Amino acid sequence: MVNREVLLRPPRHRVERRAILLWAARALGVVLPLAGALAVAHALWDAVRPWTGPGLLALAVAGPVYATGMPLWRYAVHRWETTDDAVYAAAGWFVREWRIAPVSRIQTVDTVRGPFEQLLGLSTLTVTTASSSGAIRISGLDPQQATRAAERLSEITGRTPGDAT
Amino acid sequence: MSWQRLDARMILADALRVLVSLLPGVLALLLTGFEPEPLAIGPLAGLAVWGVAGAVADVVRWATTRYRITDAYVERRTGLFVRTHRSVRRDRIRSVDTSARLIQRLAGLRRVTIGAGQMNTAMEAAFTLDALSKRDAEALRRRLTGSAPEPSAEPMAAFQWRWIVYNVTGIWALVTAAGLMWGGFWTAASFGLDPGAWLNSLADWEELGPVPTAATAFAAAVLLGGVGRACSFVTEHAHFRLDRIPGEEGGTILRTTQGLFKTREVTRDDRRLRGVTVSEPLLWRWMGMADTTVITTGLSMWSSSVSVLPRGPVRLARRVAAAVIGDPALGTPLRRHPRAALRRRLLWGVLTASAGALLVLPAGSTPGAVAFAVLLPPALGLACAGHLALGHAVAGDYLVVRAGAMTRATSALRRDAVSGVQVRQSLLQWRLGLAGVWAMTAAGEGAYGARDMAAAEAAGFASAALPGYVEQFRAGSLPADRTPLTFSVPGAG
């Protein structure tokens, strides 16, 4: 029996439970317009019904499953942690990813709040390094917590010499 | 240093350019007795207009452009209606190239391109000075990069005629042939010749039948394209040499010079060098063809400046790559990836072939089956090639990863250049016990990955890629405050 697990421990902190609503809202933001477009086409245009019919049916089954399953799955996976010398985050659902960046390589630390996030009282912490594909994005944080983490990281980064490349 | 003009010999070069661009038109008029083909007059008139307009624009540019070098900046002012003033900090300058077109070369002019590595902001050089005299260009380059004018005694690599073999093959040969034939046809037509009739008179095509005719045409196209490619390769890469020369502040610089008519010189600061990649295209693996590029910060990976050797034999590529990074890391035996990685690729191959068949299915079940049968063997072949290419290793200061079905790329990346790691695992990969580990870096492609390695080894490789930071997050280690953990990994069981 092969070991299937990536032998990294989960980061310490879960994200806020409200993040489930955020992800559900985002899922609906994809599913509903798609369903709407299909329904309009189905209602107005006879010729496409052989395609839109099964499409709508599939969406009716897969849409709710996606909009409830994905957020719960994400909530089980998404975790984060900062230590004195590194940032560590786990994210994803179907594809899980773990990212680790040394604080000494951090270039910018941002907190971002989109409209949905403001409504739900959430915040996203974005940590970028010099790599074009290296940003660590931790969504679903409590705004105060995110701000504190950002301030702490910026402070440690400021103490570390070097140009981070 | 005060504001300076570009070299006045530009005007001379422009006069020459006007002459050259008018020449074909005049010749055509003389030869055809001033009654040219109406269809052919277009390109010739276009050529003449292009020549004259270009020359006028050049003169305006000469009149309006000033440049100067101060202790901290290089500055350029240019433009007639839209004035631009651009300045680049000298310590940001990553490369200074000099090149010359044929006419500029005849006039003793050089075009200087100063690159400051706007990799993330704009896909262009910081600015160009077009053109300076050969002496000024050399002095400017030396002043900005501090490199010695004389090359070291023994180059790290120098032009070899047998490299031509590696550069005439491929799909571009056919494209070149098409371009040459199109150009030839119009040129001939403008001189009142009929190339179609000439081709018809070469052989009795009707009697040969369509298949031999097509085969002959294809062979002719390949031959013509090959010759075209060989010529362009020689003009671009003749006198190629790769040197490592002393740079400013005790550093060293990797320099390539190449070109028959147009000399192109590229310098790359060794302090920005982070690794090297050797890529081998699948179709030409049998002849050992390889490209050699450096992984460096500040140069876009799409820029040709990252290439330190023309396409050539893989053994030479590996030797030069080892010399460039001064480490035999690329030659390290790689750890192969588990067979499960092959299973994943085979599954994707079957899925791709099925998707292709599904697209044809509306046309009937027979075309669908045919499409599946045609697509499946190459898809499975690529899956096997992709699996055979996979490998990774940690070799001293370097991380070595190899992947790619169509083009197998082996990269050695310096471990101290890694600015983060990412481990990825999809549900299918989890089922197969696989995971991908990517080393993030500011240089080259931004991330170099060991795809589909054994999941159990992922944390160890990530730890080797980013020494000292990953250990604290490996399974079995406790968070900093030593709280006992009760964690559940989704899907574990």
What pLDDT, in 10s, does the model give residues A6-62? 889 999 999 999 999 999 999 999 999 999 998 898 888 888 777 788 888 999 999
Q: How far apart are CA B432 and CA B214, in angstroms?
A: 48
Whether the CB of B386 is below 8 Å from some CB of chain A: the reply is no
- Confidence (pLDDT) at B425: 94
* C-alpha distances out from residue B191 to A95, B29, B36, B39, Å: 64, 8, 7, 11
- Confidence (pLDDT) at B153: 64
Q: How confident is the model at residue B47 (pLDDT cuts 50, 70, 90)?
A: confident
- Confidence (pLDDT) at B102: 77
Q: How confident is the model at residue B239 (pLDDT cuts 50, 70, 90)?
A: confident
Q: How far apart are CA A70 and CA A91, in angstroms?
A: 12
User: Of B170-174, B366-370, B387-391, where does the model show the most confidence?
Assistant: B387-391
CB contact at 8 A, A56 and A79 = no
pLDDT greater than 50 at residue B11: yes
Selecting from B426, B432, B479 the residue whose C-beta is nearest the C-beta of A81 gives B479
Task: Say which residues have a Cβ less than 8 Å from residue B354's Cβ, sequence separation at least 6.
Answer: B372
Closest by alpha carbon to B419, among A135, A21, A121, A97?
A135
Whether the CB of B473 is below 8 Å from some CB of chain A: the reply is yes
pLDDT greater than 70 at residue A5: yes
Selecting from A12, A97, A102 the residue whose C-beta is nearest the C-beta of B422 gives A97
pLDDT greater than 70 at residue A161: no
Digit-coded pLDDT (tens) for B319-364: 999 999 988 989 899 999 999 999 999 999 999 999 988 888 777 7
Digit-coded pLDDT (tens) for B263-316: 777 878 888 899 999 999 988 888 889 999 999 887 665 667 788 899 999 999
Q: How confident is the model at residue B451 (pLDDT cuts 50, 70, 90)?
A: very high
Residue boundaries of the structural domains of chain B? 4-145, 163-237, 238-326, 339-381
CB contact at 8 A, B280 and B407 = yes
Q: Find the closest chain B residue to A88 by CA distance.
A: B473
Q: Find the closest chain B residue to A2 by CA distance.
A: B433
pLDDT greater than 90 at residue B2: no
Q: Which residue has the higher pLDDT, B233 or A158?
A: B233
Whether the CB of A105 is below 8 Å from some CB of chain B: the reply is yes
Whether the CB of A158 is below 8 Å from some CB of chain B: the reply is no
Question: How many A/B residue pairs have CB atoms within 8 Å?
Answer: 148
The answer to whether B490 contacts A73, with C-beta atoms less than 8 Å apart, is yes
Whether the CB of B198 is below 8 Å from some CB of chain A: the reply is no
Selecting from A9, A85, A100 the residue whose C-beta is nearest the C-beta of B475 gives A9
Q: In this prediction, does ipTM exceed 0.95?
A: no
Whether the CB of B422 is below 8 Å from some CB of chain A: the reply is yes
The three-class DSSP label of residue A165 is coil
- Confidence (pLDDT) at B484: 43
Task: Write out chain B residues lying below 8 Å of A50, CB-based.
Answer: none
Q: What is the 3-state secondary structure (H, E, C) of B183-227?
A: HHHHHHHHCCCCHHHHHHHHCCHHHHCHHHHHHHHHHHHHHHHHH
Q: Find the closest chain A residue to B434 by CA distance.
A: A4
Q: How confident is the model at residue B402 (pLDDT cuts 50, 70, 90)?
A: very high
Q: Which residue has the higher pLDDT, B11 or B264?
A: B11
Task: Write out chain B residues lying below 8 Å of A129, CB-based.
Answer: 419-420, 440, 442
pLDDT greater than 70 at residue B200: yes
CB contact at 8 A, B440 and A133 = yes
What is the least distance, in Å, from the CA of A119 to any CA of chain B? 29
- Confidence (pLDDT) at B259: 82
- Confidence (pLDDT) at B35: 65
Digit-coded pLDDT (tens) for B123-160: 455 678 888 888 888 888 888 876 555 555 678 888 88
Q: Which residues of B396-410 are buried (b: 16+ CB within 10 A; e: fewer)?
A: eebbbbbbbbebbbb
CB contact at 8 A, A100 and A87 = yes
User: What is the average pLDDT score of chain B?
Assistant: 83
Show the tokens assigned to B230: 């060989």
Task: Say which residues have a Cβ less than 8 Å from residue B106's Cβ, sequence separation at least 6.
Answer: B13, B16
- Amino acid, single-letter form, for residue B20: V
Whether the CB of B123 is below 8 Å from some CB of chain A: the reply is no
Closest by alpha carbon to B132, among B108, B155, B154, B116?
B108
Q: How far apart are CA A162 and CA B16, in angstroms?
A: 52
Site of tokens 């580990």? B437
Q: Cis peptide before B131, with omega less than 30 degrees from 0?
A: yes
Digit-coded pLDDT (tens) for A95-130: 999 999 998 888 888 888 888 888 899 999 999 888
Q: How confident is the model at residue B113 (pLDDT cuts 50, 70, 90)?
A: confident
Selecting from A8, A83, A102 the residue whose C-beta is nearest the C-beta of B475 gives A8
- Confidence (pLDDT) at A163: 53
Digit-coded pLDDT (tens) for B15-30: 888 888 888 778 777 7
Show the tokens assigned to B164: 């031509």
- Amino acid, single-letter form, for residue B94: R
What is the least distance, in Å, from the CA of B416 to any CA of chain A? 9
Q: Find the closest chain B residue to A13 by CA distance.
A: B479
Q: Which residue has the higher pLDDT, B216 or B207?
A: B216
Selecting from B446, B469, B473 the residue whose C-beta is nearest the C-beta of A131 gives B446
The answer to whether B459 contacts A10, with C-beta atoms less than 8 Å apart, is no
CB contact at 8 A, B300 and B294 = no
- Confidence (pLDDT) at B491: 44
Give the Cβ contact number of residue B414 at 10 Å.
21
Task: Write out chain A residues lying below 8 Å of B89, CB-based.
Answer: none
Task: Write out chain A residues lying below 8 Å of B475, CB-based.
Answer: 5, 7-9
Digit-coded pLDDT (tens) for B28-37: 777 766 665 6
pLDDT greater than 70 at residue B238: yes
- Confidence (pLDDT) at B411: 95
